[in-house]
Structure 1
């Protein structure tokens, strides 16, 4: 696949997807969002890929935000469509992807950048990372799921503070409030993400995909997460991975998923 603004590197069962617009601090424009959708969809359909790491090029930014120049003159209808389409083809799409996605936050993750990181299944940050949703300073609100995912991760009060002040928090602050799982020096960021990915790839991709569905159901309106868990638990019994996993356990050997 040839892309204008993203790079993909595959190594065994891992794919590293890099947003490559360093001159714009990797800001998300329309083309980049569409390319990310295509890349995530293709990698999710590749049975060899068991984990995806998403990061930004350079040392300054994961994604510094959306490309404001593209929508500064939008009207109400255009703004509504911008948020609707963006959530549909990228942010909600990533959250519900069956393949685990780890966000390696290397530097600024602001606005749409933080929203993309939050759509990933979990996050690891470099010590120089700064995170925030500054949209209200522009007279708008987060439109790519930020008002929903941030409270789920850090709690309502902290989310209200971050969104209303439009301020940034450090990587350590992000870790303290549950926004990221780990904070490491920048040179250790991808190696740690790869180490975590390696642990994930040892397990059943089928079961992990089912677990993602069950976990996400708890955060979906009008959906009973417990019922989805029961359903996915039952479905697991009909898979080859269940047969292999339980047989390997009884035979005291490692499973071959």
Structure 2
């Protein structure tokens, strides 16, 4: 394998083979990497001078997950066979069931398929701040390299469900507390400690643990079903139209009822079905489209300096507007809250005060800071206080004529940035006004 994308293996005098994933910037699992891992693991298992294996990533990062570019090829062709067999052939058979122990040396990040590789190892050593997570559901799929089965067996069902269904990252320090990571160390000591740990497993001085065989963190069958049923109800509320959430829970349940290996097989089947789903196609497209917005030809951020935001006007004191105003006040930013009449203005101010009092009760804010925040809030019934604000945030109800009127009024009285918070993606900016009369202003939309 030529070029930057490769897998290397170095065998030390201690008999430990260090297998390194090299695919900058985040060591994504390109098919070349997958094939390289299979070859290096097969070689390590056959070599008499290798006693144990340490798996790591180059450049201070373990692995950022599967190469998403492969998904676009699958979506274009409909050929799911472009997805390499990782879950069974590599993770289960070569790594976890291998005759020589593997230890994952984690630094920087281990996400998606990267974290799944570590769970196929027999121990995980990490730097404390490394980021760990399984964010596959954000792409309309589920973890496909055994993650739906091994994560619950390492951290328990509730935490595993939280991490997968919410695509929540945790630090390795949190992972150590929850059972996902076996030990923490500094970056300088990472490989050394991992080598020693791998040798101790090989010499039976530390336990040789195959994650897929564990059941102690799953709880009783009735407990597991209760947790899964609760998760299903929650998923129906927050992700009713997203098939991957229920599919993920189905696959986890298969592993609980029929064993880890059965769960891995079902996971692989469901993964391939979801990859071809309209949801996955749309979310993968959105993933790349979002990144393209940061690479507009001829536009760079060279020599640009961020504008200092000291004072912000918020139009609308409802749930969204009062919440935005609260966040600004807590960050020591002055706020002008505008409403259409004194009653609505008073209601908005009371909601902000209640938000701040709630932060005090939870210990997130001191009483003094709450009083300071409230002193930065000013109510308004017209636009006279808008002339010196650095930004305007519009958060009124979803009525286009009302928004048109607001934009028209703002064009007459100010020159600044307008940030509009809309709930419906079908609003087009051109309907807010015939032309942008802001001499130095920006219309910016946030679709929620």
Task: Give the alignment's TM-score, normalised by structure 1.
Answer: 0.75
- TM-superposed CA distance for 1:89, in Å, is 2.4
Counterpart position of 2:305: none
1:201 shift after superposition = 4.5
CA contact (8 A) 1:98 1:212 kept: no
Q: How do residues 177-216 of structure 1 correspond to structure 2 at under 5 angstroms?
A: 177-203=178-204
Query: Cα RMSD between the aligned structures?
Result: 2.7
- 1:1-257 residue pairs with structure 2 within 5 A? 5-12=6-13, 13-23=15-25, 25-59=26-60, 61-74=61-74, 78-79=79-80, 82=83, 85-93=85-93, 94-203=95-204, 217=213, 221=258
Give the Cα–Cα distance (whole angstroms) in 1 for the partners of residues 2 and 12 of structure 2.
18
**2 CA distance for matches of 1:149 and 1:77?**
29
TM-superposed CA distance for 1:49, in Å, is 0.8
Answer whether contact 1:96 1:212 (CA < 8 A) is retained: no
The structural deviation recorded for 1:19 is 0.4
Aligned residues of 2:128 and 2:173 also touching (Cα < 8 A): yes
CA contact (8 A) 2:129 2:173 kept: no
Per chain length, whose mean CA-contact separation is higher, i.e. which structure has more relative contact order (CA < 8 Å, sep 6+)? 1
Report the CA distance between 1:135 and its aligned residue: 0.6
Quick one: distance in 1 between partners of 2:145 and 2:204?
31
CA distance in 2, matches of 1:134, 1:142: 8
Deviation, structure 1 residue 11: 0.8
CA contact (8 A) 2:124 2:181 kept: yes
TM-score, with normalisation over the residues of structure 2? 0.44
Please list the CA deviations of residues 159-203 of structure 1 after superposition, one character each: whole Å capped at 9, or x if unmatched: 000001101100110001100101111111111112223434545
Q: Distance in 1 between matches of 2:55 and 2:139?
A: 27
Task: Give the whole-Å Cα distance in 2 for the aligned partners of 1:212 and 1:129.
Answer: 22
- Structure 1 pair 187–212 and aligned structure 2 pair: CA distance change class (3 A): closer
What is the alpha-carbon distance in structure 1 between the residues aligned to residue 138 and residue 132 of structure 2? Answer: 15
Q: Larger Rg: 1 or 2?
A: 2
Deviations 1:104-128 (A, max 9, x none): 0111100000000111111011123
CA deviation string 1:118-165 (max 9, x = no partner): 111110111231000001111111111111110011110000000011
Query: Structure 2 regions of 5+ residues with no counterpart?
Result: 216-254, 261-448
Distance 1:64 1:216 in 2: 22
Cα offset, 1:78, TM superposition: 4.0
Partner of residue 229, structure 2: none
Q: Is the 8 A contact 2:112 2:134 kept in 1?
A: yes
Q: Distance in 2 between matches of 1:98 and 1:179?
A: 22
Instruction: Report if the CA contact (8 A) 2:153-2:212 is conserved.
Output: no
Q: What does residue 232 of structure 1 align with? A: none
Between the aligned partners of 1:161 and 1:212, the Cα distance in structure 2 is: 24
Q: How far apart in 2 are the matches of 1:125 and 1:37?
A: 23
C-alpha contact 1:134 1:166 (8 A) present in aligned 2: yes
| Rounded Cα–Cα distance in structure 2 between residues aligned with 1:147 and 1:78 | 24
**Hey, what's the Cα distance between the residues in 2 that align with 1:198 and 1:158?**
31
Q: Which runs of 5+ in 1 are unaligned?
A: 224-257
